[in-house]
Amino acid sequence: MVEFEKIVEAVNSALKDAPKRNFNESVDLTINLKNIDLSNPKNRIDEVILLPNGTGGANRIAVFGKGDIVTRAKDAGADLVLGPQDIERLAGEPREARRLANQYRFFLADTGVMSLIGKSLGQRLGPRGKMPTPIPPNTDIQPIVDRLRKSVKIRTKDRRTFHTKVGVAGMEPVKIAQNIDAVLKRVESVLEQGSANIRSVYVKTTMGPAVRVI
């Protein structure tokens, strides 16, 4: 496990070395794995990780459902709420369905429409790792939406190198470091050999040079 002070040092270097921009750049983490066979699905990582300090921006969340869940989703501040008729219509609008899949980071769905989503939108959402999280009846959506606003999803598929956003350049370095620490601890916890499966970790701003963390 990497020392927290070392993470802070790497973040400070990445922010210091980044060219000055007139926009708030993302800060990204790159993790390279080793000694792991990702052709075996059971070794792959597919995790939603809550960042203690958020990503520096609110993730956009869409909810599929009917009846009471529509009202509860709107009250919870979901960015988009779609009913069964919308789902069926999108099945015949591949361009709009693709745009939907790209524009929203997380999807939730009433369990009653999950089969319809699989049939109508599965080919758009599935490959992107964005199939909706099922929401059982009478579930309080608010805490789920609040959590996803500050979360990132890591999905390796069969690649040993993967990336995730951990903040923006305008955040305090220690808060970015806390986000990185949370990601690394979660990744280590799901790897067969823990930190021994991590070859290297780098942090960088969108346009800046990569700085090695470990």
Beta bridge partners of 81: 63
Model confidence at 206: pLDDT above 80: yes
Spatial separation of the C-alpha atoms in residues 180 and 51, rounded to whole Å: 8
Q: Which residues contact 62 (CB under 8 A, 6 or more apart)?
A: 78, 79, 80, 81, 82, 100, 104, 106, 107, 108
Name all domains of the chain by residue range, CATH numbers in brackets.
Answer: 4-56+150-212 (3.30.190.20), 61-148 (3.40.50.790)
Over residues 136-147, the mean pLDDT reads 93
Confidence of residue 124 (pLDDT cuts 50, 70, 90): very high
- The whole-number pLDDT of residue 171 equals 96
pLDDT tens-digit readout, 77-121: 999 999 999 999 999 999 999 999 999 999 999 999 999 999 999
Over residues 33-62, the mean pLDDT reads 95
Provide the CA 173 distance to its chain's centre, in angstroms: 20
Going by the DSSP 8-state scheme, the letter that residue 171 receives in this structure is: S
Over residues 202-212, the mean pLDDT reads 96
Spatial separation of the C-alpha atoms in residues 36 and 140, rounded to whole Å: 38
pTM above the 0.85 mark? Answer: yes
Over residues 42-64, the mean pLDDT reads 95
